[in-house]
Structure 1
Amino acid sequence: MNSLSVAERIEGRSEPLAEASARLEKGDFSGAIALLEPAFKAGDDSSDIVEALMRAYDGAGETAKHEEMMAVALQASSQPSLKLAISYAELAMTRKEWPVAAERWQFIIDHCEGFPHQVYVRQARAWLAAQQFSAALHTVNLGLEKQPGNPVLSDLKDVIASRKAKKFQLTAQQLAAPITIRWEVDEGEKRIATLESFRHYRIRGWIDARQDQRPELLVSAPDGADSLALTTLEPSTPSQEAGWTFEYGFDFSQDLTLGVRLKNGRVYECLRFSLAPVMEVLEGREGWLFLANDTNASIDQFTGKKRLDAEQKQQWQHFVDGIGPLQRQRSLLLLIANSKEKVRPEYYPYEKASITPTEQVEKFLQAEKIDYCNPVAAMQAEPDSYYPTDTHWSGRGAYLAFIACMRHFGFDDDFASLYAFEQREVVGDLGSKMDPPAKSLSTVAVFREESGVYCRFSNYLPGTGNITIFENSKPIHARTLVIFGGSSAGAGGFALLFANVFQRVVVVNLPGSYVHEVVEHEAADHVILQTNERYLATPGRVIKTLAEANLDHAVQAVPAAERVKLLQRMSRYASCEPYHGFMTTLLAG
C-alpha cells in the first residue's frame, strides 16, 4: 500500500479504472492491463483494481498473472469468495501440484463459510496424490465428522488406508559399470514394509575401488542429485584389496540410483533401486477377495503351515492364567472376530487344515474354562455376514456377534425388532487395493428407534491406542460396557450396536487385552476382549494402567504436524479424564 489518502487514491484511479473497465467490455484485455498494471505496481491493491486485473489477465491468457491476482484477492478479503477460492485450488489440481492444491483447499476450510463437503474430498485426493497418507486420512475424518456415513468419503477413506498400508519390497538392478556396489539392509529394517517406512530406509554398502581412486557416493533421484562421503574399508587379510563402505538412510519412496564419482572425474551409475509392490489381495471364487502376504501370514495359518510355537503357547498359558480370575469377578467375554476365509471357505482357493492356531488357542481357553465366543457357525449360516471386498464382517455379521455377546451377558431383549438391515455398495479394505477399486454390496444394520447416542470423547489416534467413548441419553439398559478390540470393534458398526442400547460404551484399540485402570475407572458392568482371528498367534496382555500399553510408540509413528492436529481435535471435547490428560501428555510430548 502507498501513503496516499483514501480520497487521493480513489480520485487518482477513477479515470484509468473507468477506461480499463470500458476496454474490458470491448475485449481489449491488453489495453486494460496497460492502464491498470502501473497503479497496482505503485501499491494500489484495492479490490476494484485487483478484480479488473484478474479479468484482464484471464482474458489475455496470462495464466500466471491471473493466478497471482486470485491470490491477492483472496488474501485481502475478510470474507473470501468461495467460488474464487475453489477455482484457485482447482488450478493447482489441474497442474498436479498436489501439496499446493492441498494448502489452497485448507484456505477454504479455514476462511470460507458454508463450503460444500466436496472440499474435504478434493483436499483428501490432493494429499493422496502427494502420497501424504496421514494428512489425507485427517481430512477425510474431518469430513466424516460433518457428514457421518457419507459414502464418497467412506470409500475414499478405505482407499487411503489401503494405500498407506500397502506393502512394498525394495529391489535393485545392477547396472553395467566397471565398479560394483554391494549392499544389504540394515538389521533394524523390514524387507517388506509400507511406503512410509521406505522414506528413510537404512542400507549398508561396499564399493570395490582402489584407495588412489578416492570415490564419492552419488545419489540420484527425480528431484536432484547429491554426493556422500565414503569410509575406507581396511583389508582383513594381506591379500585382500582395500575398499570403501557406507551406511546411510535413503528415501526409497521414489526411484533412486547409486553411483560413484572417482577422483579423475569419471562417473558411473551402479545400482538402480525401485519398490516392487507386494501382492496383498488373493482373488477367490466368484469375485471374493481375501487377504494375502499380511504380517500375520493368513494363508499359512489357514493351511496349517503356521501354528503356535513353544513360546506362543507359553504366552497363551500366561494370558489365560491372568484372565481366569478376572472372569470370575466380573462379566467378561473373549470374542473372536472370524477370519473371512473361515466363514466363506467355499470361495477360498486353499484347503483348511484340521488344526490351525484357532483350534490351538481354543484348547487353552477350554482347559482353563475361559468364557469365549467364536461365532463362526452363526456367521456361516448367514450369507451376508461378510462381503466380497473387505476382510471384516458386515453390519449383519457385527449384529450376529452383538447378539451372541448380549445373550452371554444375560439379556433376552427382542433385538430383531430394534434393527433393520439395508444393502449398500461399498469399496472395503480389500476392494480399495484393486485398481480400479472394486465394490460390492454390504449389509448395514440400522437402528429403528430414535437414537440418543453421541460421541463423548475420542483421541482420534489411528489404529492402536485409539480411545472412543459413546454415551446414550436414551439407553434401554443403564449399563457401561468396555470393549478392548481391534479394527473389527468398529467394522459393521459393532460398537455402535451396543451404544444404541447401553448408557456408555468405551472402546479402546488394544486387541484382546485388558487394562485394569480403564475397567475400574468405568466401573464396567460388562467387558469384551475382542481380537481378530488372524491375531490369535499372539495373545493380548493384562496390564494395570494405560501407561503400560506403551502407546508412545503408536503416537510417535504419527508425524509431528498430525499430532498437533489430533490434539486440537481432541480438545473440542469437554475434558474426559483420565483419557484426556493421558493423551494430551502423549501427543504433546
Structure 2
Amino acid sequence: MSSLQKTLSFIKHRAIESKIISWSLDYPNPKREPLFENDNIVLRGWILFKRKTLSESPCIYIPYSEFVDRKVILDKARPDVIEAIFGKKDNKNPQHHCGFNINIPCSQKKINIRIRVAEKDYLLKKVDLSEYLKRHTENNKLKVLQGINGWLFLDNDTNYSVDQHCGNLILKKNCLENWQAYINELTTISNDKMKKCAFLITPSKEEVMDRYHPYPKAETSLLKPILEKIPQHLLVYPLNELKELGDAAFLKTDTHWTHQGAKTAAISVANKLKLPEDDILTLLSSDKYTQRKHVGDLGNKLAEPQSATSNFLSSFSFRNWVVYDNALPNFGRIIVTHYPKALTNSTCLIFGSSSSYSMFNYFCRFFSNMIFIHTAGNIDTSLITAISPNYLITQTNARFMIRPPVADYDVDQTIRDKINLLSEEQLTIQKKNVIIRDLEMIRALGLERWHNIISC
C-alpha cells in the first residue's frame, strides 16, 4: 500500500469517515524538512471526499483566533492522488483538484485543521508547528513583503494582513456579535453623553495601495459586514479620499499614512463632527510641507534598511503644545495638547491607535484641548464621565478589526499593567520622557486619577 493510501482509522469522529475517502498532510511532516515561503510555513496536502458530499462544497478551515478562520480552498491538481486512490489516471475526475497549498504565519505555533460539510464542523488533525519553527530562526522571520516599485507591506504579522488582503479569512459569528455590541454602546454614548461623535477606521495600506501589492486583492472586503453595521452618522472610512491622493496617501516604507493622508482623514472627521468646513480648509491652506527621507517601521526591518522620500508638515508641530504625556509605549499612553488659537474652544477625547499620532497636527488646531488615549478604539466610559468632552473620536486601524474592540475597557488597569511589565531600563526612559507642563489643567480636565498611577 502506498503512502497515499493511508486510512482514517486514527480519527475518532466516525462522522468524518462517512464523508472522506482519504487525506494526507504532505507538509509539515515529521519525515520531511519543513518548507518555508515568504517567511511563512507551508501547509500542503490533499483530501478526497465521498461523492455524495461533493455538491456540498466542502472546505477546510483553520481557526486562527477566536474571531477568524483561515479558509482553505482545494484548488491544486493532484493527478498522483487520483491515480493512487482510484487505480488509474483520470484528469476528468471531479476531485482532480483535491490539493491545497497555503502559507501559515509563523505566529501560529499550533493549528487545528477542520473540515466543514453541510454546516457541520469536524476536527481533522491537530498540528504542532513549534518543532518545525525552531528550524527557522527568528531573524529569518521578516514581517515585510516586497511589493511593486519598492512599496513595502506587512507580512507574517499577528493581524494576518496578507490573508485579509487576499480574502482568505472568514469572520466568525461571535466576531460580528461582539462588533454589534460595541457599535450599540458607541451609539448610546453618542446619543446620551456627547455633542458630537465619530468612529474613524483607518483603511489598510493594502486596501489603498493595492496596485502595488504583490498579491491580488479579494473581490469582497472581509470588513464589509462590519462596516455595514456602523451607523453612517458615526462612520468615517476615508478609503476613496485616500485613493484620490494616489502615492501621497501612504508612506512607501511604513505601515502608516503620510501627513497628507492624515490631513485628509482629519478633514473627513471634522466634516462628520460638523465643524465649519470652510474654516477648516482656510486654517490648513497655509500649511507648508518639506520632503525628507523616511525609513519607517517596514523599511527598518530589512537586512539593509530601505527609505523613501515623502512630504512632512513643517509649518506646525503639535509637540509645541503638549501639556501632558505619560510617555508609556503604545496602549495606555495619554497625550494632552492645549492650543488657545484652535478653531473651536472645546475638548476632544480620542480613543485611538498609532495612526492617530500623525493627525495630532490637525486635531490640535481644531480643538483647544485634545486628549488622546492609546486604546485602538476600545472605550473606557469612566474617562468619558470624568472628562465630559465636547467631542469624542474613536479610531482603529482596519487591519485590527478582526478583533472587535470593547466598550468596557479599563485604562486604569492597562496603565498599571504596562508599568509593571516595563524593565528598569524602560521605566527609566519612560519617566525621563514624561511631560507635565500644566498639572492644574490636567486636574481641571478630569485626568488626575490616571496621572496619579504613573506618579506613584
- Structure 2 length as normaliser, TM-score? 0.64
User: Which residue does the alignment assign to 2:326?
Assistant: 459
Q: 3-state DSSP class of the match of 2:169?
A: coil
CA distance in 2, matches of 1:517, 1:478: 23
Distance change in 2, residues 1:273/1:382 (3 Å) = closer
User: Which AA in structure 2 matches 1:541?
Assistant: V
CA distance in 2, matches of 1:272, 1:587: 45
User: Which residue does the alignment assign to 1:563?
Assistant: 427
User: Is the CA contact (8 Å cut-off) linking 1:452 and 1:472 kept in structure 2?
Assistant: no
Q: Deviations over 1:243-290 (max 9, x none)?
A: xxxxxxxxxxxxxxxxxxxxxxxxxxxx99964431211001011000
User: Which residue does the alignment assign to 1:471?
Assistant: 338
Question: 2:380 aligned with 1:515, yes or no?
Answer: yes
CA distance in 1, matches of 2:262, 2:360: 9
Determine which structure has greater relative contact order: mean sequence separation of CA pairs < 8 Å that are 6+ residues apart, divided by chain length. 2
Shift of 1:443: 1.9
Question: 2:157 aligned with 1:297, yes or no?
Answer: no
Question: 2:244 aligned with 1:381, yes or no?
Answer: yes
User: Which residue does the alignment assign to 1:445?
Assistant: 313
Distance change in 2, residues 1:537/1:559 (3 Å) = same
Q: Deviations over 1:155-214 (max 9, x none)?
A: xxxxxxxxxxxxx999xxxxxxxxxxxxxxxxxxxx957xxxxxxxxxxxxxxxxxxxxx
User: Is the CA contact (8 Å cut-off) linking 2:323 and 2:435 kept in structure 1?
Assistant: no
Question: 2:285 aligned with 1:417, yes or no?
Answer: yes
User: Which residue does the alignment assign to 1:353?
Assistant: 218
Shift of 1:574: 4.4
Distance change in 2, residues 1:314/1:370 (3 Å) = farther
User: Which residue does the alignment assign to 1:434?
Assistant: 302
Aligned partner (choices 268, 271, 278) of residue 141 of structure 2 = 278
Cα RMSD after superposing both structures: 2.8
1:162-561 correspondence to structure 2 within 5 Å: 275-329=138-192, 330=194, 331-366=196-231, 371-383=234-246, 384-410=248-274, 411-412=276-277, 413=279, 414-447=282-315, 453-490=320-357, 493-543=358-408, 546-547=411-412, 550-561=414-425
CA distance in 2, matches of 1:382, 1:506: 28
User: Is the CA contact (8 Å cut-off) linking 1:555 and 1:587 kept in structure 2?
Assistant: no
Distance change in 2, residues 1:390/1:457 (3 Å) = same
User: Which AA in structure 2 matches 1:346?
Assistant: R
Distance change in 2, residues 1:451/1:351 (3 Å) = closer
CA distance in 1, matches of 2:318, 2:145: 39
CA distance in 1, matches of 2:244, 2:216: 20
CA distance in 2, matches of 1:568, 1:291: 32
CA distance in 2, matches of 1:364, 1:423: 40
User: Which residue does the alignment assign to 1:145?
Assistant: none
User: Which residue does the alignment assign to 2:79?
Assistant: none
Shift of 1:351: 1.6
CA distance in 1, matches of 2:136, 2:401: 36
- Structure 1 length as normaliser, TM-score? 0.50
CA distance in 1, matches of 2:355, 2:409: 24
CA distance in 1, matches of 2:378, 2:286: 30
Greater Rg by CA:
1
Q: Which runs of 5+ in 2 are unaligned?
A: 1-38, 42-104, 108-133
CA distance in 1, matches of 2:368, 2:136: 55
Shift of 1:567: 3.5
Aligned length: 318
Q: 3-state DSSP class of the match of 1:540?
A: coil
CA distance in 1, matches of 2:433, 2:257: 29
Distance change in 2, residues 1:416/1:458 (3 Å) = closer
User: Which AA in structure 2 matches 1:386?
Assistant: F
Distance change in 2, residues 1:584/1:561 (3 Å) = farther
Q: Which runs of 5+ in 1 are unaligned?
A: 1-167, 171-190, 194-270
Q: Deviations over 1:442-499 (max 9, x none)?
A: 2223447x98951111110001111110111322321211111111011xx2122111
